Amino acid sequence: MTDDRYTVISADCHAGADLLDYRPYLEATHHEDFDAWAASYVNPHADLLADTADRNWNSARRLAEMEADGIVAEVVFPNTIPPFFPSASLMAPAPTRTEAEQRWAGLRAHNRWLADFCAEAPGRRAGVAQILLNDVDEAVREVRRTKEAGLTGGIMLPGTPPGSGLPELHSDYYDPLWAVCAELEVPVNHHGGSASPPLGDAPAARAVFMVETTWFSHRALWHLIFGGVFRRHPGLRLVLTEQGSGWIPGVLDMLDYYHGRLAAASRAATAEAKFGVGLADAMGDSPSGVWRDHCFVGASFMRPHEVPLRHRVGLDKIMWGSDYPHDEGTHPHSREALRLAYADVPADETAAMLGTNAARVYGFDLTRLAPLAARVGPRVTDIAEPLEKIPPNATSPAFAPGGVVRVW
């Protein structure tokens, strides 16, 4: 935050190369297979076929549009299709050894491309590396390699949905991965939509996906907490992104409740004692205590009804995100979205949620960003002005009508 403007860091943006542009980033041994695969691949995602798709890889366009939106830096999650993947999904390993090797090669290619993409805007992009969970040793190597390559956004943790065939996230199978992330101070990011099982394409399936997707994404939180991961790896940080934030206080209350029941049961001759054996010792702190010490939320386009819960979530835990370049993102109306959410919030609290927290988690240099923020950042006085009319072409859920706001 400068004297009169906010330093806005979006903790949730997405990017990736155009499909054929990944080829130079692949190991040469995969070029022939890539050429054959790419020649017949049909992209299933309409937004990656539209004339705006280049916002994923056109660095100059991206910087200009984000500056126009008041944003000076971003955490960059993946978006486009990595080589050898049927879609952008990272929810399950490939079904054969050959496909698994190819998909690992595809992710390494994306991570190499992303390092170059971030280098085009020094200090302004924290790239999130992709991994798979089917080979923990390979995941550890990729964490080390991407850290050395300059990616500061951490890793994107895939889910382990039913049917994946992978050990659950609470398993100590993943301890080498948690250990290297803690050692290198690499944030572990779990993005919304990355843990849902396949449901099909019927209208009912799409509705069920909308109902369940955030729940499946939330599962990583209690798996890692009850699995004792944070006690074994006290330097580990977990970020839950684009899953909302209003659910967190209630879920922490629920987890504390079960923790209390099971920890007490382990000291008493109750029917629940068999479930609570060893839990308290394995976890250490309560779930709410673990949240306080290790966890953060990428609260993309934070909605007005979530803002009053900010102190229960933890003011130092919340990081706003624009979700650029997705249709559900706030671009090109991020200033209006901020006014809608934060008009009545003290400026120091707004500054924390818009930039200070993300800078701390992802290593952005606020001093380095200050001159740009002084030029393009939203004015404190402007954000304090309540939004009276929603822009007519706004597509983000951040602008869902409600309260006294009038919709054109």
Q: pLDDT > 90: what percent of the chain? A: 77
Is 387's pLDDT higher than 90? yes
For 224-258, letters b (16+ CB in 10 Å) and e give bbbbbbbbebeebbbbbbbbbbbbbbebbeebeeb
The pLDDT of residue 172: 96
The pLDDT of residue 34: 97
Q: pLDDT > 70: what percent of the chain? A: 95
DSSP string, 298-330: EEET--TTTGGGHHHH-TTTEEEE--TTSTTS-
The pLDDT of residue 88: 64
pTM: 0.94
The pLDDT of residue 91: 54
Q: Decide if 174 contacts 136 (C-beta within 8 A).
A: yes
Nearest to 300 by CA among 377, 230, 240: 240
> Each residue of 87-136: pLDDT tens digit?
765 655 677 888 899 999 999 999 999 999 999 999 999 999 999 999 99
The pLDDT of residue 403: 40
Q: Mean pLDDT, to the nearest integer, of 72-83?
A: 96
Element (H, E) at 125: strand 125-127
Is 406's pLDDT higher than 50? no
> Each residue of 261-271: pLDDT tens digit?
888 766 667 77
How many CB atoms sit inside 10 A of residue 401's CB?
8
The pLDDT of residue 198: 83
Q: Which fold has domain 9-407?
A: TIM Barrel (3.20.20)
Is 37's pLDDT higher than 70? yes
Question: Which pair of structure tokens corresponds to residue 255?
Answer: 């987890």
Domain extents in the chain: 9-407
* Better-scored residue on pLDDT, 170 or 209: 170
Using CA of residue 205, residue 209, residue 215, residue 220, what is the dihedral sign? Answer: positive
* Better-scored residue on pLDDT, 270 or 317: 317
Q: What is the mean pLDDT of the chain?
A: 92
Is 209's pLDDT higher than 50? yes
Q: Mean pLDDT, to the nearest integer, of 171-184?
A: 98
The pLDDT of residue 266: 64
Q: Where are the beta strands (DSSP E) in 232-353?
A: 238-241, 295-300, 318-321
Q: Mean pLDDT, to the nearest integer, of 197-202?
A: 85
